[in-house]
Copies of this chain bind each other. A is one copy, B any other.
Amino acid sequence: MTDLYPSRKSEHPAITERKDPVVYSSMTEQGPLRADQLTYFEDHGYLFLEKFFNESDVSMMREELSRVLNNSKVSTDKRVIREPDSDDVRSVFAVHEHDDYFKSLSKDRRLVDMRNQLLGSDVYIHQSRINLKPGFNGKEFYWHSDFETWHVEDGMPRMRAVSCSITLTENTPFNGPLMLIPGSHRYFVSCVGKTPEANYEMSLRKQELGVPDHDSLTKLAAQGGIAAPTGPAGSVLLFDCNIMHGSNSNISPAPRSNVFFVYNSVKNTLVSPFSGQKPRPSYIAAREKVTENGNG
């Protein structure tokens, strides 16, 4: 298959234009998102829905979060990823598979309808995880496009996936909220370097490949600025698979946690990784039985 978005193949970074639509269904089609919300998503690459879930949902999510966190503390499960310089849990992958509560959350009817509307097709879950950024010493996530990694390391051919992040704690300007570069989803930044085998074993703890260069980031931020939607627990951030995003560290006492589902179109299932290397494990990138998971 032709590689429309080559990355980690050259010694020089490059910015090219996106070759795929952002919103796949017609703006006039019936759906939970209004036309102005679809237009906002198309232009900015994200949409923030404050207090999407109500307080009783949020209180249950918090309980479930503590349960998962407690179970993960001493776990040797590979799906539990720890901080680069400590044993603190940073992420728990594939919660839609191994956890009943988060499985049912991923199938929430309103979420299903929104992502089908954005992607213009049925979808399946490409990846899910809980991200825990603890208070006092939560570490930063450097700028990246998720698609760049999913394309190179997982073989996702086109930009037809959307991420849905549900905030499980309040996101404030002080606890390292997700920062996005609005409009950056319209460009693909080819990164330099070559992906080594089993890169994910380190990269999930600290990203060192697929890192966009300073010049490209400066250009994109000069054009689109930076946005960091903040709000109470239970808010939902929908963002395009290719938008440049990252977050600063968190020294505030308040943890910043969210659950994160990535929906990919059933018309965009994975091929062989464009790095030419072995695919990553299925708890990081779903590769089999994806149609059975259709509609999440």
Contacts and interface: CB of A to CB of B under 8 A. Distances in A.
Interface of A: 135-136, 140, 142-143, 172-174, 176, 179, 214, 217-218, 221-222, 226, 228, 246-254
Contact of A253 (B172, B173, B221, B254): B221
A253 B181 CA distance: 11
Contacts of A136: 214, 217
B249 A140 contact: yes
Contacts of A176: 248
A143 B251 contact: yes
Contacts of A221: 252-254
24 contacts: A136-B214, A136-B217, A140-B248, A140-B251, A142-B251, A143-B251, A172-B226, A173-B228, A174-B228, A174-B248, A176-B248, A179-B251, A217-B253, A218-B253, A221-B252, A221-B253, A221-B254, A222-B253, A247-B251, A248-B248, A248-B250, A248-B251, A248-B252, A249-B249
Q: Is the interface of A mostly helix, strand, loop or mixed?
A: loop
Count this chain's copies in the assembly.
2
Given A140-B249, A249-B249, 17 more contacts: A135-B214, A136-B214, A136-B217, A140-B248, A140-B251, A142-B251, A143-B251, A172-B226, A173-B173, A173-B228, A174-B179, A174-B248, A176-B248, A179-B251, A221-B252, A221-B254, A248-B250
B253 A214 contact: yes
Contacts of A135: 214
Nearest to A174: B226
